[in-house]
Structure 1
Amino acid sequence: MAALYEGYTLYGLVPAPNLADSGIQGIEQERDSDHVLVTDSTRSVTLYKVSDQKPLGSWTVKQGQTLSCSAVYNLQTKEYVAVSDSKVIRVWKEEDVLLDKAFKATVSSNVWRVHCVSGGEPVVLFQRGAVRLLESLLAAPQQPVEDILAPEETIRWSTHIVVDTQQFVIFTTEQRGDHFLYLQRLNPNTLQRYRLEREEPGLCPLSFSASCREKRISLLYLYPNGRVYQSVVSVRGLGADEGAQALPLPRSLQLDLPVGEGLLGAASAVVLDEAHVAVVGVPHPSAGAGKDFLCIWNTNFQTLQAGKEMAGKIYGQLWNFSSKLFIPHGKTLSVIPYDCPKSSLAAALGKLKQAKTEECKAAASVPSWNNILHGEKAQPPRTAETRKTRTNRKIQSSPSLTVDQVLELIKTAPVEEVQKEVEGLLSRAEIQDLQPSAGQLASALVCRSLADPAFYTSSTLAQLVHTQCLCHSVCPELLLLALERKDYFLCQLCLQLFPDIPEAITCACLKAFISMPDGDAEMESLEPDSVSFMETLISSGRGQDGLQNGFGDAPSEEERSDTVSGDGAAPKARTEDQTPSIQSGQICPVGLHKAILLNEILQTAYSESFLLPHLKDLSSQQVTLFLQYLQFLYLRYVQDDATQTPGFRSPTLTQLMDWVCLLLDAHFTVLVMTPEAKGLLRNLHTFVKSQVRLVSELGKIEGSLQELNKMKTTQEVGQYSIEIIELF
């Protein structure tokens, strides 16, 4: 099934005061999949490196000028192109600082958009429908531009597609409630006009998306009533211009999305591949009204594959580049990675498994798809009947409850009966859409557990979490309930498998874990791999002496000179003062199971700006204990490379340092004034310096390797030669 992974914030938005506009005019891919250009709705173009979540450059037009369309990047010339005030085309390079001093040309007619895709030359689409290649337009900027559209016809959407080196500009227009599709081919220039079928009176498409497969251009469009249609146009043998004649464009219904009461206001649908569509601003089928979701639907089988609630207002904007979705919501532009495996009936129903060769051969004579699709009790041939087959047939022949019946049962039945029916429901093959069913079951179990202190089904909730069809937004009370009941195994599962835990809940878990007695934690059974990792970490001896991973037990001369106290103490005395603190860091300050739970906190995704305010709620004792534990992990990591085994789920060294910096930022004043934290802060200062020094040395190595890569290979002289390379 398709999946939405944990997203991250690219940058904070500055929406309009009425919150109707996100402030983003467009997003375009730049030189590769990790760089994007973001154009705001007023004056600025900013280049971002997506993986680093930071801007690499920004260009702004003068006060009083506005950008008319989103900027694009010409990969062939390494230049950026944008349009200001509808008529001024600007071209500049990355090293240009002032946009006003870069090249600009004023054209004779208003521009709608500039388009550029990889492998194609930038094209300019004018507001009246004319299309020009950028190079030919800049050669004669004041050349006359013809009017293609009717006087009352207006462009609503456009894009640019390259099919076998042939460029096509596609745009849709509206005229008195009618919608048209224009297909403009370049070199040779031909134009085709199609009329879209009308929907219900007064309904206009909210979004368009185009894709190309096998020389056919597919147009996908979403209406406010939740219907998603597809129209296909073949580019083979595209005829000459048909003038004003509009050909009828057939359509097929791809999805009929649930919209609840009323109509959609701000929503968008984007094609991901031949069978998957991403939709934003449409309610989740199993969620209440008023919640905005990002969902992936399978159009072949009409199934919901993945869903993620988006906090804040949805503006109906969605972009897709290199398996990443860019979505503005609230005051955030988020990047959501996704995965869409090849569509098949087994994958759509959640039945795709990697079976062994022997099992595949045995299953060939057993008609199992009838059971999955229609629930038919097909009898396998006697020769193919094994003990496992007879057992499954016996289970399927027994009476079973539907999802709605189990939901009613949860309200009143005893714990044992509820566990039996829910676990039986999850194990049966008749459940065709486990994701909404799992959310409904978890919500019902949590609601009754909150209302009835005597009712709690730990194993059933854990089984629901293990299905990986749940997330925090689907059942937000689940993790808090596990904390209240001190079900730390369920807490661990949620922290591992929920990709969308809010920072406030993460801090609530941290506070609960750091405050609980070690004895309470040791009574719980936790995930075996995490237990094995911590047992190995605690029991392992000290690593070999000397500098490892940028840090050694004995401070270097440089560190000693930088950490001389204000009273003028000698470096030697300072070293003696440091030694006991570092030695004490070799002992784990918390119990085994408490350490395992703290490791889960360290690996939970977060946004620093949202996490810091909640970290300030921790007491100085809790922060000191947590920092001591981070110190212990750091010393173990740098002294024993075997601790970070790839097979184990464990926090990384980078995560440790990030949390150290977060805690110090949130509690620095309190820690400085706490006598017990003096030695701890001194050690942490040494750790941070060692990592800075390590990164600096790695940067030098990177620079040296880059210089070696730039060197031209010299011609080999004879059969043997010695070459000396000097690195500066």
Structure 2
Amino acid sequence: MAALDEEIMLSTVVLGAGPDGLLGVEPTDKADQFLVTDSGRTVVHYKVSDQKPLGSWSVKQGQIITCPAVCSFQTGEYIVVHDNKVLRIWNNEDVNLDKVFKATHGNYFAYVQMLNSCTLSKYTLLLGEEKSIIKNFTASVDRKFIYLMSLSSDGCIYESLIPVYPSDTDKNQKVVRSLLLKTVVSGSSQKEVALTVLDQNHVAVLGPPIPASKECLCIWNIKFQTLQTSKELPQGTSGQLWYYGESLFMLHGKYLTVIPYKCEVSSLAGALGKLKHSQDPGTHPIPHFVNWETSQECELGSPNSEQSKRILRRRKSEVSLKPEVPASSQLLLAIKKDSEKHIELELRKLLAVKQTPDLCTIIGDVVAGLVARCREEPAFYPRNCLLQLVQTHVLSYSLCPGLMEIALEKADVQMLQLCLQQFPDIPESVTCTCLKVFLSIGDDDLRKIDVNMESVVDCNDGVQDEKMEEQTGIVQNGFSPEADGCHSCDSDSREKARGAVQETSACPVIAQRAALLNAVLRSAYSDIFLLPYLKDIPAQHVTVFLQYLYFLYLKCSKNASMTLPGIHPPTLSQIMDWICLLLDANFTVVVMIPEAKRLLMNLYKFVKSQISVYSELNKIEVSFRELQKLNQEKNNRGRYSIEVLELF
């Protein structure tokens, strides 16, 4: 026997907050208490028996919660994800979600478990330039590779190749993904999408094909990049798709719907829809696809003859005895004539196999082949392939001297930054040319380029430094911007000093340009060979670079360790050396620029303060030496010693 008790009405405020109702209801660590998450911005903690909320939390305007909030029964903390990438963890005492623990999930990992050997391999999926998130994925496998396909929020399908037998199971290996199909669903759609592999050449995609359109089920031919068929689903779906046998399963409206499908053998004629599916009356059906290996020596009308079977067996035995062509040889052949997409596929196969001792030579040959074709065909520039090759960490400038020249012609600053970070033997002339390119590109164009920002100092914290604004007379590591040689303390001088502090605390360049300049600062060079090339840089660009170097020095001065924050930032020694080099090469030109007057005065004060610091340090060093001598004499008292005097 079963019975239903009287219903309990909770507040309806949450239901009105989100456009699509609720994301979920989850239990907490206490009985009779639940977390209710709407599809907008709010999480409410309810106690059902009291019919009232115990607390509520909301993300900021413009953010959206993308999964139901859950409770950790071990710690009693609540966890939620908003905007598909930011994790928040809080408890009942927390009031503002902006001030609680925050983590961002930007890395995606793939784990491969081998059951026979009980080994687990971890792979980091490198998303490349795309700033999208993975909304759905599927995978297929053959004897050598796992083909991982992902449907991203930009509406495109990407593919990553993962080796079935990894070279090093203990190492976190990196896998690059490449574009497989472009814009198969609307990138601006907030609805869930789904992806599944049907066979070697076909995938099924569930989602709206264009903005503001109804959901559709589409089958794409990935070999020929064509849409084979589509079916509109006006009642909407749950964004879930299953595939078993020759049937596709999905929730359409309120019903579980089954759609049988059929994919013919992939060919160019079939992909373009030019196959004839009708037969003339009285004719025998002839197969659309002919195995030319078996039909060369027998008639098409007798495909089952003994002669054709013998020929087929002989062909198979010949193929099995033929040695497999190495992946490197296939790639070198593909570079000469194939498309960029096919070259990228062969490259991923090469990089996915176990590394060999001659990998450095192979990678060098591949880069040389790509660069040679770039020179022959100006429109050919396989950027993704070249980026993957540089990231193998086995290249140098002397091994592929033409690579940076091509990147300079294309003004590919991301490639140049990566080469500056990886190559230890870049000539000073090339380094200076990169510097000119980095300083000449406009801010608007740089903001659109994806560069490595790990070495960039936070360019905004200096402006917000209250101590620097309120106490402009503080001496930091021996340097005070107010110490201009005048000891007067009138209000005008204080205002000027405060203005100088605020001016030098703000970063003079945007973050992208700062990242590129840091790559130049960290590159190896010889000052004797670099100095002549620095004279060719325009004076305005020299001024900007000097302002940035001075800004970095002020950042170093704030820390007792005289180091910059971040990953692989420029060192104080590198900053000082580049300031000296730029002034030596361009002082007579820079001194004539009105905008550089204040900068040169600040640099003069900075050098003067450094001389004072080193002078005091020398005094301290001498004092320590004297104390050390006195300590040694004190320890040696009372001990027997022999002194030998030689008279000449």
TM-score normalised by length of structure 2: 0.45
Greater C-alpha Rg: 2
Q: Choose between structure 1 and 2 for higher RCO, CA contacts under 8 A separated by at least 6 residues.
A: 1
- Normalising by structure 1, we get a TM-score of 0.41
